[in-house]
Amino acid sequence: MVFFTQDDIDNLISEDVPYFDLTSSLLDIDTIPGKITYSTRDATVVCCVEEVERIMHRFGLKIISNTSSGKFLDKDVLFLEASGPASYLHVIWKVTQNILEYSSGIATRTYKMVKAAREVNPDTVVVTTRKHFPGSKKLCIKGIIAGGAMPHRLGISETILIFRQHMNFIGGVKSLLDKISDIKKRIPEKKITVEVESIEDAIMMAKKGVDIIQFDKLSPDEIKKSVPSIKQCGDQIKIAAAGGVNLANIKEYVEAGSDIIVLSSAYFGKPADIKVRLTPLGDKDER
């Protein structure tokens, strides 16, 4: 469940339907009763079905059958069906297809990576970065949750993640080490994550009590080498691998000993392929 406001829903509709549907109105099909169906073309984790249903309700369509976001479906499964006048079926057609395809694409990519990671270590946690499509964060977050991941950070107001770009302003890694215990004292309700680019830095941070060591763009091998020394500093310290993780290499990162996989690659890529059919009620033809 991700909360979409009415404004979120209406804006999605307005992008495609600023005023009305010119083509349908010229064809004089407005009041013909019809049906719209949505089916998978490939194995898919469907997402945003609930938001599509809200759009359907907006136009008075009747939901005949549906499923829940997060469900894994085989190919060629009809998972959503609604009826109503042809005018409204055409109005919602592409908007709803687009929402389903993009969010299910994210969910399915996430699902595959989570599955791959857990085949190696069932306790691995997959989280996604803030590199979501700008302007579409709720849809992206719903997608990755539906696929079995969690957001790494929802924004910069509630988590502490210290980057090299921060250290540049305090005098480098060394100066940060001097500050860690103070930061921990000031914000005892949060864990402290530091992104590092070398094993040496990682170990120094771990010794200072940093909760999560995040490696940026290290190879699985490099991470593997660092794990024992870090875990020696405290078993509760978590190792996160970030930077370029994708379906092709995620298993290696898990095998290397990462507790947490931080990735962006779930967000982008081809949308899921959802087949949508609009037919008059009673019609037998299949497209």
- Alpha carbon 100 to chain centroid, angstroms: 13
Least distance (Å) between residue 272 CB and a copy of itself: 11
Select 26 or 74, whichever has its Cβ closest to a copy of itself.
26
Nearer to a copy of itself, 199 or 260 (CB): 260
Tokens for 243, please give them.
């930077």
Closest approach, Cβ 35 to a copy of itself, in A, equals 10
- Taking the least distance from each CB to a copy of itself, the nearer of 74 and 287 is 287
Shortest distance in whole angstroms from residue 236 CB to a copy of itself: 9
User: Closest CB to a copy of itself among 219 and 279?
Assistant: 279
The least CB distance from residue 162 to a copy of itself, in Å, is 6
The minimum distance between CB 275 and a copy of itself, in angstroms, equals: 11
Distances in whole angstroms, Cα of residue 63 to Cα of each of 36, 43, 58, 89, 138: 10, 23, 12, 12, 24
CB of 75 to a copy of itself, least distance (A): 18
Please identify, using beta-carbon distances, which residue of 1 and 228 lies nearer to a copy of itself: 1
Nearer to a copy of itself, 22 or 74 (CB): 22
